[in-house]
Amino acid sequence: MTETAAAACEALLSHARETAALEQVAGRLGWDQETMMPRGAAHQRGEEMAAMEGVLHARRTDPRLGDWLDAADPQDAAGKAQLAKIRRGYERAQKVPAALAQEIARVTSVSQGIWAEARSRDDVAAFLPTLAEVVRLKREEGAALAAGGDLYDALLDDYEPGMTGAGIEGMFAALRPRLVSLREKILGSSRVVAPLEGLFTAETQLRLSRRLAAVFGYDFERGRMDLAVHPFCSGSGQDVRITTRVTESDPFNCFYSVIHETGHAAYEQGVDPDYLLTPIGGGVSMGVHESQSRICENQLGRSRAFTAWLHGQMRESFGEFGIAEAEHFYATVNRVAPGYIRTEADEVHYNLHIMLRFDLERALMRGDLAVGDLEAAWNDRFAADFGVKVDRPSNGVLQDVHWSIGLFGYFPTYSLGNLYAGCLHQALRRDLPDLDQDLQAGDLNRANDWLRDGLRRHGGLYAPAETIERACGFAPSAEPLLSYLENKYGGIYGF
């Protein structure tokens, strides 16, 4: 590599590290807003977020980047991947006017608080004007990025590079018929699985949740756990934070939210430290990210072997709580019911929740659905898909934070993550055939090592699908997930 090329590479990475550091600062502002910020600070925080976005947008579109990109010629795989990500970010950022980027940051920051308040009061009308403004701004951004192409695809590409709406449709076409058939078999079964009942103190739930996070590989020396309206994971590298929420009548909500967010956090904490604050120093896509949260939450965390261990932990923490047998507890943890809330949905219904959101948000972005008609469209679709009428907005259109903060195109990555998790689980079981012995002891060390060595440490080195294929040894498909679900629930419900 010539001296000029080497200097260009060094300048690019130096610039990228400073930009990544500032992005982490902006992320910390977002974390604070959802966990600790006083409610009266919302409008000021919106101005702060807009100011940060202005600085970041200027760095992402710095004209020097073009010159450095032309001159740089890295020789190793990591350097080439970093260069490709910088180029992609530079080209995308150039398409979005700075004023628009700042306005989106300001409005979505304020919108999050308005959504939370509206959700707490079940007041859709209080949120719709703000949502209409978010939708307008995101459509404008999508149009700028698409440059004449599909607006929704342009937004989806932010979360899953290379994926399209048509690709998502194909995934759902593969999943939906067998999921619906499986649901019908379960709901038609004579075997009844009762829900968990009782009260479980918040303090004890949180204490056990911290243990669960540690079991699934969360490093509390580089993170912390707090409470939020909507559980999430924030940060990367040496500062990765998770949140959960507590309902004393439903400890599974807390426990499995923590395991889910720990999967995200363990991915970020597991990236090769040499990549810290570089373009490949975090998860490669949200679909791959969701594969880490979903395999932890479901294939591992809801397995018969692990729930046997968790059953013992529940009895130790709460005393006799009404379920004496581990096998009964396993069925209760995996009970199938058409509930309202996506984050509490069983594995059979979960992707149906995502299909609903995908279709609605795609229609919003394409202009085929007006914001004022969104609640009715949601309620009609939910009744058709789940056979239940939405009883209140917080169980319907107001339940998710994503649209309030402008994350249009994000929802499909949850289902993509489920598909990827199915593939990873099949490969993990192939390589660790005696894994259940570990899980029964609450020992996730070998599973965590397998995920870190095969996937997490690579960060953004490879493309999303290639990341999964390298970890599994085969190309991703829906079959492993569907087979896993059919075998698991056929056993629980006796068919």
Catalytic residues: 261
Residue whose C-alpha is closest to residue 294's, from 252, 336, 330, 261: 261
Angle at 462 between CA 161 and CA 12, to 5 degrees: 85
Provide the 3-class DSSP secondary structure of residue 239: strand
Residue whose C-alpha is closest to residue 417's, from 350, 356, 487: 350
What are the Cα distances from residue 277, in Å, to 81, 238, 282, 420, 473? 14, 10, 8, 26, 29
Q: How many CB atoms lie within 10 A of CB 16?
A: 23
Amino acid at 15: H
Residues 6+ apart with CB under 8 A from 241: 31, 223, 224, 225, 226, 233, 234, 235, 265
Residue whose C-alpha is closest to residue 39's, from 116, 154, 135: 116
Write out the two tokens for 480.
């492993």
Residues 171, 416: contact at Cβ < 8 Å? yes
Q: What is the CA radius of gyration of the chain?
A: 22
Residues 31, 241: contact at Cβ < 8 Å? yes
Write out the two tokens for 221.
């020396």
Amino acid at 143: A
What is the rounded CA–CA span in Å between residue 422 and residue 291? 8
Residues 278, 20: contact at Cβ < 8 Å? yes
What is the rounded CA–CA span in Å between residue 225 and residue 440? 25
Residues 6+ apart with CB under 8 A from 355: 172, 176, 385, 415
Provide the 3-class DSSP secondary structure of residue 9: helix
What is the rounded CA–CA span in Å between residue 272 and residue 461? 10
What is the rounded CA–CA span in Å between residue 40 and residue 63? 39
Residues 228, 221: contact at Cβ < 8 Å? no
Amino acid at 25: V
Write out the two tokens for 452.
């870190």
Which residues are 241's β-sheet partners?
A: 234
